[in-house]
Amino acid sequence: MPTPHNSASKGDIAKTVIMPGDPLRAKFIAENYLESPVCYNEVRGMFGYTGTYKGVRISVQGSGMGMPSMGIYSWELFNEYDVKNIIRTGTAGAISDGVNLRDVIIAMSASTNSAYASQYALPGTYAPTASWEILSKAVEVAEKKNITCHVGNILSSDTFYDDADSLSQWQKMGVLGIEMETAALYMNAARSGKNALCILTVSDCPLRNLSTSAKERQTSFRDMMEIALDTAANI
């Protein structure tokens, strides 16, 4: 059955979904990489497509910005549409001095300043982590493509414009970069008994005042897209 946010019917969406935050990046991936893509969702402009890539049925759908939006769309995909794997393809701001513009980060774990985990009433602090099956495959794909990836911890933040200067504190703890969705995705996957991974391209370096353009973020981060697609085709 369609949901309030997704007009797809059961069976319209593949078991593995590539999930950029930007719905226009979803459209770009579908039109440039999938064979015979069919648009299954346009509700709220959150485009979703299903096609084939190297003979494997794959879907691609936007998640929107922030953990509340990711929380809605990934929960519905896992629980209403029987999706097994979600691979987020997003952008991040580099925090680590060793990570530069356009580098690829594979998020092994996602620290967060969000209260998203409070819904589970856990007697401690939960550590959102990627699914090893997908993470290890993505690293293998990147190595075969000779794409250097940074694998480690990222920060999923609830704020884009932050009143406090906290990035240097996260940097001290070895956090590679900051974005806004992955912790919610990893928690939804864990709670649903499904698999998730986040692959990011560095779009800016906030501690060094470096950035890329909006158009570059939408269409030119192909290393990340191709790692995600080749991983999806082999899991």
Which stretch of DSSP H or E encloses residue 210? strand 210-211
Concerning whether 103 is annotated as a catalytic residue, the answer is no
From CA 151, how far away is CA 201, in angstroms rounded? Answer: 12
169 three-state secondary structure = helix
For residues 48 and 59, the answer to whether their CB atoms sit within 8 Å is yes
The sign of the dihedral angle between the CA atoms of 76, 81, 54, 144 is positive
For residues 93 and 208, the answer to whether their CB atoms sit within 8 Å is no
- Closest CA relative to residue 195, chosen from 149, 134, 145, 140: 134
Residue-by-residue DSSP string for 28-54: HHHHHH-EEEEEEE-GGG--EEEEEET
Q: Which of 12, 204, 223, 230 is catalytic?
A: 204
Active site residues: 204
